[in-house]
Amino acid sequence: MKTLPRLLCLTVLAVPVFTGLSPFPAGTEVLPGLPWGPVLYVLLVLGGVAGFCGRAFLANVVAVTALVLSSVVFAGGLVSWLLAMAGGNSAGVAGSIHGAHYVGLALNMLSVIPLALAIVAAIPFDRLEQRLLRGTRGISSGEKYLLMFVRVFNHIVYVVIPNILEVMREEALLRAVSERASRPAGPRGLGSLGRRLTAAMVQVGVSGICASLRFIPLWAREIDALPRRLSSKHRSRT
């Protein structure tokens, strides 16, 4: 599929979720407080992302979404549930107070995150970067900002993430975790696994952020050194 049609299709698919309009009637409830409409929309979005960007891409964005969901939505739900329990409610009642809200939130993120990632990935940033330095009379300050943004984005996508994946593959970090998880373990073993997994993810995250930022001063200097575009033809090549 060509870039522009893909971008248009993804944008049309994203209109409901970013405007709060639902293309489907709410209908009956799948779970208490959760109607069919949002569920169908999530399925439509995931199917659309798979269709426009490929199943491999969908698998990756769903994995990223799951990571965000587990830390933001489920942790939020857990805190809310504990607060309700502390207020003297039984476990079941405490769960029903905000349960539907958090399930709805999870569904919303299941459509927002894959769509946002798909739209960003569909924009050909590297080609955009190549167009910015074609002139021979310098560049405008707006182009400098855009150049810096595109540079950082491309560096993260094409250098930082592949480098980290190479290290994780070589060290079999994920395989070690999955093998450990498949073994029967008591609550203490699960706790230890959880702590190790969390520590590893934090380490990968911090390392990724630092690797992303590492070159910014260098690029800032180089991009800042580019001359402002001149109105007259001072810079014609000899």
Partner 1 sequence: MPEWKHDIPTRYFATYEALENAFRERVAGLVPRYHAGTRVFWDDFQRLYSRSGVFVPENGEAYITSNPRDCLAFGTPFQVLQGAWLSASRPNAASPEDPGRVAERFGLSGHLHQSIRTLSGGETVRLALAKAHLMAGCAARLTVASPFSWLSLDHWHLFRELVDHYRSRGTALELFALDGEASTLAGEDGDEPAAVPLRFTWRLNALQLDLGSLIDRLHDRRVWVGVAPREETLASPCLLCGDNGQGKSLVAKTLAGALAYTGEARVEGLRGERRVRLLFQDVFNQSLMRSMPQLAPRGEDDGVAAAYDAIRDVIRHRAPLAGRTLSAFGERRHDAAPLSLLEMKILLTALRLVDHDGVLILDEPDWGLSRPDAVAFVAAVVRAAHDRGVPVILISHKPWWRNLARSIRRVSKQTVSSGADGCLFRIRIDADPGGPS
Looking at 66-74, 105-113, 176-184, 204-212, which segment touches partner 1 (CB under 8 A)?
204-212
Does position 158 interact with partner 1 (CB under 8 A)? The reply is yes
Torsion angle of the four alpha carbons 54, 56, 60, 62, in this order, in degrees rounded to the nearest 10: 60
Q: How far apart, in whole angstroms, are the C-alpha atoms of residue 70 and residue 103?
A: 12
* Span of 38-46, 63-71, 87-95, 160-168 interacting with partner 1 by CB under 8 A: 160-168
Closer by beta carbon to partner 1, 49 or else 94: 49
Contact 185, 193 (CB under 8 A): yes
Q: Which residue has the tokens 């769509």?
A: 115
**Which of these ranges, 38-46, 80-88, 101-109, 207-215, lies near partner 1 under the rule CB under 8 A?**
207-215
Smaller CB separation from partner 1, 98 or 151: 151
The candidate with the shortest Cα–Cα distance to 118, out of 179, 172, 51, is: 51
User: Can residue 133 be called a binding residue for partner 1 (CB under 8 A)?
Assistant: yes
3-state class (DSSP) for residue 228? strand
Does the protein bind partner 1 through residue 86 (CB under 8 A)?
A: no
Beta carbons within 10 angstroms of residue 117's beta carbon: 19
Q: Which listed residue (47, 126, 176, 178) binds partner 1 by CB under 8 A?
A: 126
The rounded distance, in Å, linking the Cα atoms of 182 and 178 is: 6
Which residue number, 68 or 209, has a Cβ lying nearer to partner 1? 209
Buried b (16+ CB within 10 A) or exposed e, 169-183: eeeebeeeeeeeeee
Binding site for partner 1 (CB under 8 A): 3, 6, 53-54, 56-57, 60, 121-122, 124, 126-127, 129-130, 132-134, 136, 138-139, 147, 150-151, 154, 157-159, 161-164, 166-167, 169-170, 172, 199, 203-204, 206-207, 210-211, 213-215, 217-219, 221-227, 230, 234-235, 237-238
